[in-house]
Amino acid sequence: MTLLTVRDVSKSYRTRRGAPPVQAVREVSFDLPAGRTLAVVGESGAGKSTLGRLVLRLVEPDTGEITLDGTDVRAASRSELRGLRRRMQMIFQDPFNSLDPRYSMLQSVMEPLKLHTDAGPGERADRAIDLMKQVGMGSEHAYKLPRQMSGGQLQRISIARALAVEPQVIVCDEPVAALDMSIRAQVLNLLADLQEQRGLSYLFITHDLSTTSVVAHRVMVMRGGSVVEEGAAEQVFSEPREPYTRELLSAVPTLSVAS
């Protein structure tokens, strides 16, 4: 079942007065089924992160259609968008910047529950502790601040925070790029386990095709704001059609996830 549908979405930005606009995303279309992962791959400046923000309407598209399980995301009012945000969450690249440095780990996970649910303080705390445990973080970390945690631990907290409102779709924007190689496989393994347990759909944004090979069911390669290749992950990895895709595949370390 297709959960998220994107059709001909475009976004341009003006950089300075009199200059032509820069086309960040050009008529991109894709389908994301329930419980599957579409990896969006490309170099810096390809439009990947902008696309992720367009899907969530953190950035407004210039043109195109975005539909979540039959609901027109672009037509949603402010109050309707608040409800949609419960169903679509985001994990950012740098957990040190995406978590409030003044908040404890428990407060960070509780925050979306405060914003999007009617749960009282005690219930929010209990649910937050349970979510922390689900991502491998014990209650002993509950009152630590970001500066007291490692990057891998903080990214686990970011994942717990994204899960708090029980979303259907998570946009993962380079979620392991800021982590040491030794930690990347652990986080990817966690994401894979959560997808299997919860039926989550991931839009997985990355510049690294070796990371993609671990998590993706389908791969969409972007360059200069446009899609240059899309297909089943196995096909893209074994028989890439485009020279640009072959460049991305060349000389990259292989990363594996424990079964």
Residue type, 91: I
> Pick from 140, 77, 146, 82: which is nearest to 108 by CA?
146
Q: pLDDT tens digits, residue range 27-65?
A: 999 999 999 999 999 998 899 999 999 999 999 999 999
Strand partners, 225: none
Q: 11 with 61: CB under 8 angstroms?
A: yes
Per-residue confidence (pLDDT) for residue 132, from 0 to 100:
95
pTM above 0.85, yes or no: yes
Cβ 152 vs Cβ 137: under 8 Å: no
**E strands in the chain:** 2-13, 22-33, 37-41, 63-68, 71-72, 88-91, 169-173, 201-206, 218-223, 226-232
CA dihedral for 143, 148, 154, 156, sign (positive or negative):
negative
So what's the pLDDT on residue 259?
43
Question: Which positions of the chain have pLDDT values less than 50?
Answer: 251, 255-259
Kindly report the length of the chain: 259
Q: Going by C-beta distance under 8 Å and a sequence separation of 6 or more, which residues neighbour residue 80? A: none
Show the domains of the chain with their CATH numbers.
2-99+168-249 (3.40.50.300)
C-alpha–C-alpha distance, residues 67 and 9, integer Å: 11
